[in-house]
Structure 1
Amino acid sequence: EGQYDRKFDNRLFGFIKNYKKGKPVDPFKLKQTAYDMKSVLANEGYPYATVDYSIDTLPDMNTTDIRFYVQSDSLVHFGNVIIEGAENFDTMLVKREISFKPGDIYRRIDIIRTQKHLLETGYYLTLYLSSASADTSDNVNRLKPDFVLSLREKKTHFVSLKTGAAQDSLKDLTWAFSGSWGKRNLFRSRRLELTANASFIVFTEWRLKDHWYRIRLTEPWFFGIRMPMTVTAQLSPGVRTPILDQDYRKESWFVSVSTTRNLDDRTRLITGLQYESVNIYGLSQDARDSLKQDEGISISRKLFLNLTRDTRNHPFIPSRGSLINIRGEYIGGFLGGDDSFTLIEASWSRYQKVWPGWISAFRLKGGYVREFDQSESVPVDDRYYIGGANTIRGFSEGSLGPRYRTEDGVFPEGANIIIIANQEFRFRLIGKLWGSVFTDIGNGFRNNLEIKLNNLAVSYGAGLQFISPAGPIRVDYARRLKTKHITAGDKFHFTILYAF
């Protein structure tokens, strides 16, 4: 009931469809419904709208009618925006992030989006967008209000030092140290960042794993579109490694250009081009050529694409929503380089509460990589290596999938196809201590002829997690089931963040 434009009927009535006759009345649900109705009107130019409800609570009645009263009030348009606090950064950088123009119909979502875009620039510590006048008694202030955008800027230069645990595809846990220096307003709006990083293998071994040095330049509005373009150059000098009684060092470097486009608030598309080269020092020419052949070391040029849709309610401990990721790469071919192959990978994770205090987390992931043109195989480093803390638990890192045998033992060969399915139930034990039970299924394959049910690895187990500010720190214990190709066994995994 009430006075409002009837074109909103379908959207407003949609909020009351969940009220069923004979069901108990929830006062919190009534307040939420009123708020949701006001939000619809506020996003269509009616910020002064009111929504009230009435319910008869006479004691002699088992049922009652619920009435919502809607008053939309007047249609409102945006006025001017007055910017305060812009000293280190040009006001042009602020104006291009504003999602509305004077005279546009007022929408609350435009205010929220403007504040979100401004914070994403990285120029501001805090900001607040509010009406310029508290007096709405006259029509000018009421129907076309001006707004004040108050900014608290960051410094134009920055230095950062970081340390912490990280995950590695072949190791349970690594510890990294990094330092950065940067300038946020290079040529008015570009961002320049210089970074040095060193990571160490811990617990399973204690040694330097790698170190790299990077320079990165970001143009936040590429071709006048809110689509950041980033140019990155990185050098990894490598760490000396013993082989055949000799110490060698594998140095790599790459240059890449990428763009990032937010298709909506939940969906992001990243595309780019990368050139990478690897050099080996400390070996004879014959030994160097042999190592390059064995490890698939080569010069590569690739186009890449990554599409992500994230509707999770929390990045570390989601209890609802989903995460979809699709990744594609085209290496070599008309781009040139030593190898030619394509890669396509997709994963879908779903999170939901299944009963009080328990969260169901499910993931399905698949990947396919295949050589083409003159290439005889996919380089060793570009194949899939699964098994371990973040894929199929109960196995050592990277040990699952195709293997080859030499007189020195059996070693992972790398897979061209992977299939992974995980089901995990997570629950709070006490305070910041959580528990979980899980089962993992999957394997890696050379080709599709190997994809059979009896070739899948199956494991199950339980884990404990401490929820730290940086994310869950977890210990998992998993047992693998015996199959025709896999022996029974178990393994502990210690790492940071959930597997998915």
Structure 2
Amino acid sequence: MLFLNFFLKFSLFFLLICLSSEAEARLLPFLSQDTYRVRIEGEMAPDIKNLLLAVSETYALKDRPIATPEMLRRRAANDIAPMTRALRSEGFYKSEISSEMRTRGEIPEIIFHVKTGPAYLINEILIISEDTEPSVQHLPKPKDLNLVPGTRARAPEILKGVDLLKNFFRERGTATPEVTLKTPVVRHSQKTVDLHYTYKSEPISLFGDLSVEGTRRVKPLYVENRIPWRKGELFRASHLNRFRSQLMQDGLFAIVDIHHPPLPDEDLFLPVHVNLIERSPRTIKAGVFHEPDTGTGIKVDWEHRNLRGMGERLNQSFTFAERKKESKTEYRIPDFMDKRQSLRLSGWVGEEESQAYKSEEGAFGARIFRQLCPLWSASTGVQYRLSRTTQQDETKTFGLISFPQELIRDQRNSILNPTKGMRVFWRVEPLRDTLDTDVWFLKLATGMSVHFPLIAEEKLIFSMRGSLGSIIGESNLSVPADERFYAGGGGSIRGYSYKSIGPEEKGTVVGGRSMVETGGELRWRMENNFGLVAFLDGGQVFTSSELQLEDEFYWGAGLGLRYYTDFAPFRLDVAFPLNRRSQDDSFQIYISIGQAF
């Protein structure tokens, strides 16, 4: 009896092993795989295909093994509904989607067969007021919503129209407009979509009193001087954005929170409340650097951004490198005689050595900067610089007094990482030597940089720049060597040594009285905050004041790597001289913060 029980248990155990082995053999093609493939078949634009993959759970989980073919088929079937909704959001209301699983190869494959069908177009756009008496002088039109009849009815653009319509009224006196998008009317027979927006833009608001909280070291007057509106002025949301930007730009505050109640008081005044959190006013920075222009060195920078409570900024910096040593002090006084103006007092001493010359200098100056309007700014000032330069074993001393003037138009969206917009400058600086009153000259310069996004989301940017310069009034060698034009280096023609391009005498670069430079970059920002750049720089320096454009240009080309941070991109460029001379290295490496231009 004991032997019989043992035999039955052994037989049952053996049977279970056989059954499980057979089941495992059937599931082995799935259990042994690290992944499966997903493919979409059908005629459609790449962005539509990417959208379908983005909403597909089958694609998102393709790196996770699945137990049975039935579970994989079910996962794919569940994707059809979200894919259909995604196509509807892109204006395809008669799509057909089916899924298929193939297991002939070593790795299972899911194929989605997609027919998008015809694109439905926007037909009619209605914008209707629910106010009893519309009080907006200019009623919104479809173009204010960036919607055009006859274009594809894309849900993201249709929904964005709600925000654009709110912004339209927030720029015209309504602090909290009510905007509603009714259910779009889809006409399948005509393959069109009718859109219906309603709005309520009452009541109109006027800017009221301003209250500020959170100022401790910063005086309230500093905040008040940056208010871009007057009490009683019609409410405009752009004034709030401009106010926030002006409070943040000097680095005095970590947080600027501007808010207001949804409705004005009975007199139509809308109070504005500002909550501020101040930053520490002091910063000290130190770093080690290496660049072809100046060699290996260290730099220490100390700054106080709020010396007397009104945003006065004192900066002291020291640079000690192989070919450059400098100590510089700058004091900036904002709101100087006018809230649109600032005064900057500066002084520095240092020495510099390049292939062209060696110089020692000390200088001080004062400049007034004025913001003429959001895009235009100007500056004027006076400067005195005492310098001693050595070139071709000849040393000269100059005491130059100058009056620099500059006009700038800047519509870039960022200073350190622009992706669109343009910057243009014009600079005029008359100079006179106080040690030799017969020496005077006029230095002129102008330049422009432009940035174009080539694809959506500003992932691919084409940037180009150009600059011109001319010196009038003295012969070439009568102009101080460190005031003449040179080219080459990280901020000029990459691939050539710093100030190594220009007219030569006895094998030494002596600089010139006019110059031209140009450059272009193709910037591709990838995932994970990395980016690649291809660039081409070119230019030439001439002895005379007039440009000699028939002369051969020097060209440099190369590739760059960018790592993007919230502050600015870190830049690493490798450049090669295309017109290489015997004294030129085969390549140059540049490391810096911010884009080249």
Q: Shift in Å at residue 476 of structure 1?
A: 1.9
* 205, 223, 228: which one aligns with 2:337: 223
SS of the equivalent of 1:64 reads: strand
Whole-Å Cα distance in 2 between the matches of residues 310 and 403 of structure 1?
Answer: 36
Change (3 A) 1:486 1:363: farther
Q: What does the per-residue CA deviation read over 1:476-497, in whole Å, with 9 as the maximum and x for residues that have no partner?
A: 2324158xx9999842333324
Residues 457 and 486, structure 1, Cα contact 8 Å, conserved in 2: no
- Show structure 1 runs of 5+ residues with no match: 201-206, 242-248, 281-289
Matched with 2:325 is: 210
SS in 1 for 2:270: coil
Report the CA distance between 1:45 and its aligned residue. 0.9
Distance 1:294 1:27, change over 3 A: farther
Output the CA distance in 2 between the equivalents of 1:123 and 1:36.
32
Amino acid aligned to 1:264: C
- For the aligned residue pairs, the C-alpha RMSD in angstroms reads 3.6
TM-score by length of 1: 0.79
Counterpart of 1:8 (choices 138, 143, 151) is 138
- Taking the aligned partners of 1:498 and 1:182, their CA distance within structure 2 comes to 26
Partner of residue 33, structure 1: 161
Equivalent position to 1:365, from 464, 467, 475: 467
Q: Distance in 2 between matches of 1:337 and 1:163?
A: 42
Q: Does 1:458 align with 2:582?
A: no
Aligned length: 459
Query: Following the alignment from structure 1 to structure 2, what is the Cα–Cα distance between the partners of residues 183 and 24?
Result: 52
Note closer, same or farther for the CA distance 1:209–1:103 as it changes in structure 2 (3 Å cut): same
Q: Distance in 2 between matches of 1:499 and 1:336?
A: 38
CA contact 1:393–1:491 (8 Å) conserved in 2: no
The letter of the residue matching 1:493 is I
Rg larger in 1 or in 2? Answer: 2
Q: Is 1:339–1:375's contact at 8 Å kept on the other side of the alignment?
A: no
Give, in whole Å, the separation in 2 of the partners of 1:6 and 1:146: 21
Give the structure 1 partner of residue 272 of structure 2.
147
Using the TM superposition, give the Cα deviation of residue 330 of structure 1 relative to its aligned residue in structure 2, in angstroms. Answer: 1.4
Matched, 1:298 2:298: no
Which residue pairs with 2:5 in the alignment? none
Question: How far apart are residue 445 of structure 1 and its match?
Answer: 0.9
CA displacement at 1:402 relative to structure 2: 1.0
TM-score norm. by structure 2 comes to 0.68
Structure 2 matches for 1:11-410, cutoff 5 A?
12-16=141-145, 19-21=148-150, 23-54=151-182, 55-57=184-186, 59-131=188-260, 133=261, 136=263, 140=265, 143-155=268-280, 158-163=282-287, 165=289, 171=293, 175-180=297-302, 182=304, 184-186=306-308, 189=310, 191=312, 193=314, 195-200=316-321, 207=322, 209-214=324-329, 216-236=330-350, 238=351, 251-278=360-387, 294=394, 296-332=396-432, 339-355=439-455, 357-372=459-474, 377-405=478-506, 410=507
Give the aligned partner of residue 480 of structure 1: 578
Higher helix share: 2
Q: Give, in angstroms, the shift of residue 190 of structure 1.
A: 6.4
Q: Deviations over 1:147-178 (max 9, x none)?
A: 222222345x63523325487xx717654421
Alpha-carbon displacement from aligned partner over 1:449-474 (angstroms, at most 9, x marks no partner):
67143522234443434446552321
Counterpart residue identity of residue 590, structure 2: F
Question: Counterpart in 2 of 1:283?
Answer: none
CA distance in 2, matches of 1:397, 1:471: 23
Give the CA deviation at 1:321: 1.7
AA partner of residue 262 (structure 1): Q
Aligned residues with identical type, % of pairs: 17
Give a deviation string over 1:271-302, Cα, whole Å, max 9, x none: 2111112369xxxxxxxxx8799455411111
CA positional deviation for 1:18 = 5.3
Query: Counterpart in 2 of 1:434?
Result: 531
Whole-Å Cα distance in 1 between the matches of residues 583 and 552 of structure 2?
12
Q: Unaligned stretches of 5+ in structure 2?
A: 1-126
Higher relative contact order (CA 8 A, sep 6+): 1
Pairwise CA distance, 1:362: 1.4
Residue 423 (structure 1) aligned with residue 553 (structure 2): no
Q: Distance in 2 between matches of 1:20 and 1:481?
A: 54
**CA-to-partner distance for each residue in 1:209-256, whole Å, 9 max, x for gaps?**
203142x333312224431112223333x48x9xxxxxxx96532221
